[in-house]
Structure 1
Amino acid sequence: MSEQGLNTVSFAGRAASSSQFKALYTEGMALVEETAAYLDGPGRTASKVLPRMASVLYAAESMRLTTRLMQMASWLLLQRAVNNGEMSRDQVLSEKSKVRLEGFNVDRNAPGWHDLPEGFRDLIERSLRLQNRVALLDREIYRPSEAVVVPDNENSVRAQLNLLRTAFTN
């Protein structure tokens, strides 16, 4: 088949500027604000009465949580900037190299874990789920190009539906 007989579809690029991205962005920024309010309010109060091991773990996990959320917020802001035409893809790639989206593991069996306030553990779990979603989208958008080839004679709508089915089916 000749080059002229092919169309390439960039599904990830479109997903990054979609309403799903906007929802992810809103969720991420809301989680940052919710976590800040918790750590400055109820979390601060709760941390003062924790047993020693849980208190040390709370301090470490609150730093990890804050770092994880700031890294995700940075990525979300960069992606929004490229979506809005405020930065070029090359500029984002340069800045994105400073953002770390993986490797923030949590040891749920650590001494004191179950003594941590439930609201705090919930924020950690939600941040980890969000981190996984952001990291997945990052890999889909910025991995080396693997264009999906659609022959000219294939129905474009059917091809798009097949792409969506493939993307959202386990």
Structure 2
Amino acid sequence: MSDLGLNTISFAGRAASSSQFKALYAEGMALVEETATYLDGDGRTASKVLPRMASVLYAAESMRLTTRLMQMASWLLLQRAVNNGEMTRDQVLSEKSKVRLDGFNVDRHAPGWNDLPEAFRDLIERSLRLQNRIAVLDREIYRPNDAAIVPDNENSVQAQLNLLRTAFSVH
């Protein structure tokens, strides 16, 4: 059996070690720093004058926000380590299992949401968008290669066409 993964280009793998990753890394780390600065400064001040429901929501969302950012920072640091040759892919896979890139939903209809400071809601929204981009990249880089096996009598171009037909139900 030939492995289709050996015959095709992994765009996600290349993106993960490219200038796009460096930009994503810089964006993620800057967001971590910006959020920490906000929560320790303007956010702390703003949270003291919020109505009760918004104050409770602020406390919960600030914990979710910092947790989300720490999970993303962990993923970015692991990916940087593998890109720099500091860790093997297997080591990263082992450590990556501790990182969560999903399950941080936000209820924008929760009582008090509209009373939250706009800058705080903006940090939440930006973190969710970044989390989604990282999760997509993670799935592309670390998805199982089981689906990439092609029978010996099928060439890789035909295999790609068959995958497209299957995906779009074209026969």
How high is the TM-score relative to the length of structure 2?
Answer: 0.83
Residue identity in the other structure for 2:131:
Q
The CA distance in 1 between the partners of 2:123 and 2:156, in whole Å, is: 43
The CA distance in 1 between the partners of 2:56 and 2:115, in whole Å, is: 11
Q: Where does residue 115 of structure 1 map in the other structure?
A: 115
Q: Deviations over 1:67-109 (max 9, x none)?
A: 0000000000000000000000000000000000001000000
Q: Where does residue 81 of structure 1 map in the other structure?
A: 81
* Inter-CA distance 19–150: structure 2 relative to 1 (3 Å threshold): farther
Q: Percent identity between the aligned chains?
A: 87
Q: Report the secondary structure of 2:7's partner residue.
A: strand
Q: Where does residue 165 of structure 1 map in the other structure?
A: none
How far has the Cα of 1:144 moved from its partner?
Answer: 1.1
Q: Where does residue 144 of structure 1 map in the other structure?
A: 144
Report if aligned partners of 1:71, 1:101 keep a CA contact under 8 Å in 2. Answer: yes
The CA distance in 1 between the partners of 2:102 and 2:19, in whole Å, is: 24
Matched, 1:35 2:35: yes
Q: Where does residue 168 of structure 2 map in the other structure?
A: none
Q: Where does residue 167 of structure 2 map in the other structure?
A: none
Deviation above 3 Å: which 4+ runs of structure 1?
Answer: 146-151
Unaligned runs of 5+ in 1: 152-170
The CA distance in 2 between the partners of 1:143 and 1:150, in whole Å, is: 19
How far has the Cα of 1:147 moved from its partner?
Answer: 4.9
How far has the Cα of 1:8 moved from its partner?
Answer: 2.7
Deviates more, 1:107-116 or 1:9-18: 9-18
Residue identity in the other structure for 1:128:
L
Q: Deviations over 1:30-59 (max 9, x none)?
A: 000000000000000000000000000000
Cα-Cα RMSD: 2.2
Residue identity in the other structure for 1:68:
R
* Inter-CA distance 135–33: structure 2 relative to 1 (3 Å threshold): same
How far has the Cα of 1:7 moved from its partner?
Answer: 2.7
Q: Deviations over 1:93-147 (max 9, x none)?
A: 0000000000100000000000000000000000000000000000000001255
Q: Where does residue 124 of structure 1 map in the other structure?
A: 124
Q: Report the secondary structure of 1:103's partner residue.
A: coil
Residue identity in the other structure for 2:88:
S
Matched, 1:16 2:16: yes
Q: Where does residue 166 of structure 1 map in the other structure?
A: none
Q: Report the secondary structure of 1:102's partner residue.
A: coil
Residue identity in the other structure for 1:63:
M
Matched, 1:103 2:103: yes
Report if aligned partners of 1:79, 1:92 keep a CA contact under 8 Å in 2. Answer: yes
The CA distance in 1 between the partners of 2:67 and 2:120, in whole Å, is: 15
Unaligned runs of 5+ in 2: 150-154, 158-171
